[in-house]
Amino acid sequence: MPLLPPIGAEIPCSMLGINSSLKIRNAPVTVDFRGGIKHRVDVNPNDPENSVRLRVVGFKISAELPALNGGGVATITIEQNDVDVDPKSLLRVAQRFPPKFENIMVLPFTMSIDQRGNGEPSIWTTKDPAQLIGMITQFPPKGDLYQLARPVELVDLENPNNTGLRI
């Protein structure tokens, strides 16, 4: 029985990021993200026997943000930047029995912060893609933990020199 998902399969996964730490304009905040990601399985030409590439075909998570600067509650939405034309996400067999996989998700994304009643949302994008890494026992994962490989810096789309946001 093959351990890796079949090439061409589209696999939806739910995502939950409880107590996610953000720094917005030097103010630390903690939020709970909820949403999902959908992968399409592609061949990994570098190691087709032990791994597959995962093309992101849908990604969106959101969280409620407590009131900032005396304003109202805001919604943070993180979603896929663009079509994933060069998939860098990977699912690799780390151990055959019992099955264990390394899953690396490479995610360039856009974050919007929409403060209710405060005009247009602020839009931010990743300087470098986020990398989520998980050692999982099955794919799609169920209850497995992922960690960011490094903090994610975001830049303001209207002012690319402004890096006032970090996850």
Q: Give residue-wise pLDDT tens across range 110-167.
A: 999 988 777 788 899 998 999 999 999 999 999 899 999 999 999 988 877 777 788 8
74 falls within a domain: yes
- For residue 51, the model assigns a pLDDT of 97
* 113 vs 88: CA distance, rounded Å: 27
CB atoms within 10 A of CB 137: 13
Which residues are CB-contacts of 112 (< 8 A; sequence separation ≥ 6)?
Answer: 76, 77, 121, 122, 123, 124
1 falls within a domain: no
In tens, the pLDDT along 82-95 reads 777 678 999 999 99
**pLDDT band for position 9 (cuts 50, 70, 90):** very high
18 falls within a domain: yes
2 falls within a domain: no
Answer whether the bond into residue 98 is a cis peptide, omega within 30°. Answer: yes
Mean pLDDT over 59-72 rounds to 80
Mean pLDDT over 69-84 rounds to 81
88 falls within a domain: yes
- For residue 1, the model assigns a pLDDT of 56
- For residue 58, the model assigns a pLDDT of 94
- For residue 164, the model assigns a pLDDT of 75
Given a contact cutoff of 8 angstroms between Cβ atoms, the answer to whether 81 and 57 are in contact is no
Domain containing 141: what range? 10-127+136-166
Answer whether the bond into residue 140 is a cis peptide, omega within 30°. Answer: yes
65 falls within a domain: yes
Retrieve residue 89's tokens.
């996400």
100 falls within a domain: yes
3 falls within a domain: no
Number of domains in the chain: 1
